[in-house]
Amino acid sequence: MILNTRDQDDSMILVTGLSGFTGRHLAERLRARGARVVGLSNSGQGEGEIACDLTDAVAVRNVIAELRPTHVAHLVAISFVGHGNPRAFYDVNLFGTLNLLEALAALPKPPRKILITSSANIYGSPSVEVIDESVCPAPVNHYACSKLAMEHMVHTWFDRLPIVMVRPFNYTGVGQDEKFLIPKIVSHFRRRAPFIELGNLDVSRDFSDVRDVAGIYAALLLDVVGGEGETYNVCSGRAYSLREILQIVSNISEFSMELRVNPDLMRANEITLLRGSNDLLRDRTGLAPQIPLRETLRWMLRAEA
């Protein structure tokens, strides 16, 4: 890994999705380093945010022309697989990204580094136990299809903009919405609920801590020299089953509850196992998630409500 040790005080970093789960943790990392951080959102009501709809190409170009960011972390996406409007996945995840890249390419001076977040969901359910970046994508839902389409579109910009792309596997932490699995489980244990309803208990996922993920994103933007045109898995390299997670949270909280399986919570085309390899990221940059899942769950259980 080659690190850039120059002063970062002149950096102005644009983070789309700044007030979202990942954006808040990333902004904390970046601001701790003295960087100026601004964000884009539809409402513009979050700290440091500007109102801008990424699906509005003219609005995006105007805002980017005014901001002229030195670095960009593009986090905005409709990421909840169960989202009810399939078209919205493509409007935001694909065409919103296209609008952003077109606006950045039109600047007199392009950003020094652009981080684009894709998703490990593009891999679908491959017939290999550990997924590295060479595995052929086979998405099974609209979220994953929109992210894969976005990746192909982003590849056409690699020769014009300094882009590094990441495929994060699942990650969690304090501040994640309870519609996601682990925050839902933690919430039930924290309030000593008598039971919890879940879907398929036989799924296994590779979970990282959002603090690790934010640290990797910050390093890819500000520290790692090179990497443009590369795509990296961001993952722990270990998968936990839902049953294991329930047991860990039960042990930490010293509480047990009734488990009810609700068929209505089971998804069609559910991916049974999703476990990644972070070898490429580690070999090229020296970066990889470090915090064990047990410590992440302990942090979430002890956080103030």
Known catalytic membership, residue 171: no
Give the span between the Cα atoms of 303 and 241, in whole angstroms.
Answer: 24
CB 196 within 8 A of CB 257: yes
Please tell me which residue in 143, 171, 217, 240 is annotated as part of the active site.
Answer: 143
CB 54 within 8 A of CB 96: yes
Strands 195-198 and 171-172: unpaired
Per the structure block, which two tokens stand in for 282? 């580690």
Per the structure block, which two tokens stand in for 221? 């933007």
Per the structure block, which two tokens stand in for 204? 């296994």
Kindly give, in sequence order, each residue whose CB lies less than 8 Å from that of residue 193, ignoring residues fewer than 6 positions away: 257
Q: Is 126 exposed, middle or buried (0-12, 13-18, 19+ CB in 10 A)?
A: middle
Helix H or strand E encompassing 244: helix 242-253
Q: Is 301 exposed, middle or buried (0-12, 13-18, 19+ CB in 10 A)?
A: middle
CB 72 within 8 A of CB 111: yes
As annotated, the active-site residues are: 143
